[in-house]
Homo-oligomer: A and B are copies of this chain.
Amino acid sequence: MDVARGEVLDAGTLVACRSCQARHGVVCGALSSSQLRELGRHSLRRKVDAGSEIIAQGAESSFYSNIMRGVVKLCKVMPDGRQQIVGLQFAPDFVGRPFVRESTLSAEAATDSEICVFPRNLLDRMISETPELQRSLHDQALKELDAAREWMLTLGRRTAEEKVASLLHLIATHAEPQTATSTAFDLPLSRAEIADFLGLTIETVSRQMTRLRKSGVIRIENFRHIIVPDMDELERMISA
């Protein structure tokens, strides 16, 4: 990965970490203050534009990262170009695959994002020295596993309409500037990306979105901005 040196903030001290989105996240929340200081000294904050790759499928990466801001999609692509998004990660998640050098998937910023990059070697050492960190990363892995299996049910057994409703529900519950009953949010994914997450085509996604709009389950403003007047209604559509 190419790290933009010019974008280093004052990471040499705790100052940069103190106000950090990921300070109490999976990685940094499990470190002692001296470890945090050491990790901070070797970290680089980096801006990542929507669409640019953080880790390439099949490549070896010597970096891990924390997501500070934005949404990162995890993709698998087949030699013939077919493609499947296999996970979304939100701040302050950790991105990387401990214990294995080569990535079997790519990680790409879905929205303009900011990540905090640090060397694999350093974190690997900290993991082996810090049971609390191991435990914390184990816990994130298990949560991702639960999410992946839930999505397998969606991919294998839900209809197109249920799939789209499931996606909206997923985003709504993770990107959540919500009031008591109604919820509004910006989709971090284009229609094409939604299709790749749901195992559908763009056209089917679009049709199901308008179906949901016409039946009053959602309101759509500007393609990306969605309002869910009644979350229970949306949940009923998923029949989970």
Interface residues of A, Cβ cutoff 8 Å to B = 74, 76, 78-80, 82-84, 86-87, 97-100, 104-105, 128, 131, 134-135, 137-139, 141-142, 144-146, 148-153, 155-158, 196, 198-199, 239-240
Expressed in whole angstroms, the Cα–Cα distance for A134 and B127 within the complex equals 11
Chain A to chain B contacts (Cβ below 8 Å), 11 pairs? A74-B149, A76-B149, A78-B157, A78-B240, A86-B149, A86-B153, A87-B149, A98-B142, A99-B139, A128-B131, A131-B134
Once the chains bind, are B146 and A149 in contact (CB under 8 Å)? no
Given A142-B98, A148-B148, A199 and B78 contact (CB-CB distance below 8 Å)? no
Q: Compute how far the CA of A161 lies from the CA of B158 in the bound complex, rounded to whole angstroms.
A: 20
Q: Chain B: which residue is nearest A138 at the CB level? A: B138
Complex contact B155–A152 (CB within 8 A)? yes
Q: Which 8 A-B pairs have the closest CB atoms?
A: A156-B199, A155-B155, A138-B138, A148-B148, A86-B149, A84-B153, A82-B157, A84-B156
User: A212 to nearest B CB, angstroms?
Assistant: 20
List the B residue with the shortest CB-CB distance to A146.
B104
Find out whether the CB atom of A76 lies under 8 angstroms from the CB atom of B150.
yes
| Nearest Cβ on chain B to A139's Cβ, whole angstroms | 6
| Closest-CB distance, A84 to chain B (whole angstroms) | 4
Instruction: Tell me the nearest residue of chain B to A197, going by C-beta.
Output: B156
Please, which residues of chain B bring their CB within 8 A of the CB of A82? 157-158
A213 CB, min distance to chain B CBs, angstroms = 24
Does B104 lie within 8 Å of A155, measured CB to CB?
no
> Using Cβ atoms and an 8 Å threshold, which residues of chain B touch A142?
97-100, 141
